[in-house]
Structures are given as structure tokens and as C-alpha cells.
Amino acid sequence: MTLRLASAPCTWGVWERTVDRDDLIPPAVMLRTVQELGYRGIELGPPGYLGADADEVLRTLEPYGLELVGAFAPLRIADDEGFRDDLAFLDQTISILAATGARGPVVLAGDENDVRLAAAGRPDATRASALGADEFKRAAERIQHAAERARAAGVEAAFHPHTATYIESPDEVAALLEATDVSIAFDTGHTVVGGGDPAAFAREARDRISHLHLKDVDPNVLARVRSQELSVEQAWETGLFCEFGAGAVDFPAVLAALDGFGGWAVVEQDRVAVQVDDLPAVRAVEERNLAALV
């Protein structure tokens, strides 16, 4: 299987959890490294990192020959007022993707919230904190609305089931697929944390997967989350998402189930604190991650 491979700023320590740090790897350094590794694309990352608007994003990417392949847009899907407020950020993200001619989707997700952060990674707790039927119906309608808003601007949308949100568990993902026509941004790592089997999901939902995040999960760290020794936030910092091949994801089985997949495959290993001095070590791991996918 030949994949169109892209990277993401979160692999290099740049994402919503770190955006306020003043020691992030500069965009030019990160993009040059991504290019040298042979990637063809990059996701947008947190607001402003690659540029404040479409023109600046294009100028930032142009020297490296990288395509913009998607952008993350979390939404408060269980809060009507919050959701309406989030539409401004969604529209800004859509406009950047449209103006740059991005070939990847706006990646929608529920918001991480206190209720689900407390339950994340523990299937019994996520079931106990799930939205009720009526609340879920309204949340699904908001997700459908967001996707249609993107499509109206000529941008594809894909929904990312995500740890610590109201669409995390296999049952929640199945219910969303039933309630909407929105495609899925399938993340192998978040699927494991949510209690699912990535290879089984790839087989069962093949026709609804339009965007792919490849990520591995350290089963020992996850066990500590399941036992409540660690919160999921602590686990992120401890290395919940680990080097490929050292974790729980059966990448050969996932890729076999997705044979012929035509979307972007984004290689991710979320890191919370990465500084310039860490770059050689992170790059070496990334080289091994890529080798594990061949």
C-alpha cells in the first residue's frame, strides 16, 4: 500500500496544549525537518503557528514544497452557546484551507472538557459520563451543521473521535456514524485509548474514513490510566503515544484493511515539551516511525 504521508506539528511538540509556550520549535526549523524526512504535507497546527492568515501560511510553506493537508477545529458539541461561539474559529480555519487550496479536510472534533478528561481512557467511566440520547442527537446535529458549513465553502470535513471528548468510545463513534453523513478522521491511537480496535474499525468503517492519523499507544501507560494511577493529561506527558511498533496498534492489519485508501495519512506522535535541542532525538524516532510503516 502506497500512502500519501504527512506530518503534524503535534509530533514536534506544537499543539493546543503547548501553544502558549515561548520555547516551541520555530516553524522554519520544523518544516525543514519534515521536508528532509520526505513528507509531502503538513497539518496546520494551532492558530497562528504557521501564519495568521492564508497568505502568510502559503508564504511559510512555499520554501519547503509541503501541501497543507488539514486543520484541527475543536467544537463544544454539547453546549449550544459555546458551539455558536466556536463557529467563528471554524470559519477562520475553513477560510485558510479554502484560500490555500488545501487538499485535506477541516478536522472537526469535540472539545476536551472537565467531565470527559476525568473519564478519559477508562471505558466504564466514559459510558457513565456519556451524553443522554437527546443531548447526543443535538450534538450530532451540530457536527452535521459544521460539516455542511465547510462543504458550502468548498472544503471537505472529517470528524475526529478524540480522547477526553464526547465522541471517544466505539459506541459513541458508531452512533455518530449512524446519525450523520460526516466522514471520519480515523486516529489509530485515540481509537485504542477509547477502548476500540483500530484494525476492526478500519475494516468496518472503511467507506467512511477520509483522513488518517497514524499513532501508537504505550499499553503500560494506558494501563496506568485505566487503573486511575494516571490521568490522561499526565499520561500524555508520560509518553502515552509512543514510538511506532512499541505499542498496541497493529499497523500492518490497519493498513491492510485500508488498502487503496486515497486520503492523507498523517504520522503523529503527540509530544508535550519539545525544544530545539531535542530535535535530533525526535527526528531519529520519526525516522524509525516511518520505517515501521513500510
The pLDDT, as a whole number, for residue 2 is 81
Q: Any idea what the Cα angle at residue 247 is, between residues 46 and 129, rounded to 5°?
A: 65
Mean pLDDT of all residues belonging to the chain: 96
Q: C-alpha grid cell for residue 3?
A: 500512502
The pLDDT, as a whole number, for residue 272 is 84
pLDDT in tens, 165-204: 999 999 999 999 999 999 999 999 999 999 999 999 999 9
Instruction: Report which DSSP code applies to 79.
Output: -
The answer to whether the Cα torsion of 87, 88, 93, 96 is positive or negative is: positive
Residue 294 in this model has a pLDDT that exceeds 80: no
Percent of the chain residues past pLDDT 90, beyond the cut? 94
Average pLDDT over residues 114-125: 97
19: left (phi over 0), alpha (psi -120 to 50) or beta: alpha
pLDDT in tens, 79-111: 999 999 999 999 999 999 999 999 899 999 999
Q: Position 254: which residue type?
A: V
Find where cell 472537565 sits: 114
Percent of the chain residues past pLDDT 70, beyond the cut? 100
Pairwise CA distance, residues 282 & 267, whole Å: 13
Residue 20 in this model has a pLDDT that exceeds 90: no
Query: For residue 94, how many C-alpha atoms fall within 13 Å in the half-sphere facing its CB?
Result: 21
| Angle separating helix axes 133-152 and 170-179, nearest 10 degrees | 60
Count structural domains, the chain.
1
pLDDT in tens, 47-74: 999 999 999 999 999 999 999 999 999 9
Mapped onto helix, strand or coil, the DSSP state of residue 25 is coil
Average pLDDT over residues 108-126: 97
Query: 95: which strand partners?
Result: none
Q: Domain containing 75 — which CATH number? A: 3.20.20.150
Q: Position 11: which residue type?
A: T
Pairwise CA distance, residues 272 & 50, whole Å: 18
* Range of the structural domain that residue 116 is part of: 4-293
The pLDDT, as a whole number, for residue 1 is 62
Please check whether residue 66 is in contact with residue 40, taking contact to mean a CB–CB distance below 8 angstroms. Answer: yes
Name the maximum alpha-carbon separation found in the chain.
50
Average pLDDT over residues 206-220: 98
Mapped onto helix, strand or coil, the DSSP state of residue 58 is helix
Number of CB atoms found within 10 A of residue 180's CB: 18
Enumerate residues 6+ apart whose C-beta is below 8 A from 45. Answer: 8, 9, 10, 14, 15, 72
